[in-house]
């Protein structure tokens, strides 16, 4: 004869089912841990033993950018929910759809940002060489989204106008050939 609890409606030998609701705080904590694992690293300079040498944490800039992007994504998702709820109350739902599309388009992929920042950081001292290296790198990219992310990121980089125009032309040329 199997024992069955009428209160919990489960077999007596089993653990009770506990439903845990995930909050926004849990989501943020989980994403922060993931970002720390992805971007932060410890670099040691000098001797290997404990007393000598210097230790630095690498990837702080990318980590901060990733946190800011994550927070923007959370606010954008809240804004999208708010705009979707307004559709039933407002007759001009097409304008609301356009606003939702603009929220989606303004976001830059984190991996694209990292590869672009690495490229600029390594070769920004010699801008002619940067253009040559970028041409090879851009010609190997087959993803239109990554190229459009590069184009958005190019606007915020502090380079000479001639270099920006050359890189923009390379990106446009590659976008047309895909």
**Length of the chain, please?**
178
Q: Is the pTM of this model over 0.75?
A: no
113, 11, 119, 1: which is closest to 62 by C-alpha? 113
pLDDT above 60: residue 1: no
pLDDT at 168 over 70: yes
Mean pLDDT computed over 150-167: 86
CA distance 71 to 148: 22
pLDDT digits (tens, 9 = 90+) for 82-135: 877 777 777 777 777 777 777 776 677 778 888 888 888 888 888 888 888 888
pLDDT of residue 64: 81
How far CA 88 is from CA of 29, 80, 85, 113, 136, in Å, comes to: 34, 14, 6, 37, 50
Cα Rg of the chain, angstroms: 25
């Amino acid at each position: 004869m199997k024992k069955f609890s009428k209160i919990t409606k489960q077999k007596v030998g089993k653990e009770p089912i506990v439903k845990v609701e995930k909050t926004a705080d849990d989501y943020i904590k989980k994403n922060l841990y993931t970002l720390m694992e992805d971007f932060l690293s410890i670099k040691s300079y000098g001797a290997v033993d404990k007393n000598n040498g210097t230790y630095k944490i690498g990837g702080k800039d990318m980590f901060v950018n990733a946190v800011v992007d994550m927070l923007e994504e959370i606010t954008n998702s809240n804004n999208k929910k708010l705009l979707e709820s307004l559709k039933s109350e407002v007759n001009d739902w097409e304008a609301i759809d356009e606003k939702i599309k603009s929220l989606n388009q303004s976001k830059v992929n984190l991996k694209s940002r990292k590869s672009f920042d690495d490229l600029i950081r390594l070769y920004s001292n010699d801008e002619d060489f940067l253009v040559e290296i970028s041409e090879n790198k851009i010609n190997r990219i087959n993803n239109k989204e990554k190229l459009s992310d590069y184009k958005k990121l190019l606007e915020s980089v502090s380079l000479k106008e001639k270099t920006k125009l050359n890189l923009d032309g390379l990106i446009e040329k590659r976008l047309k050939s895909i």
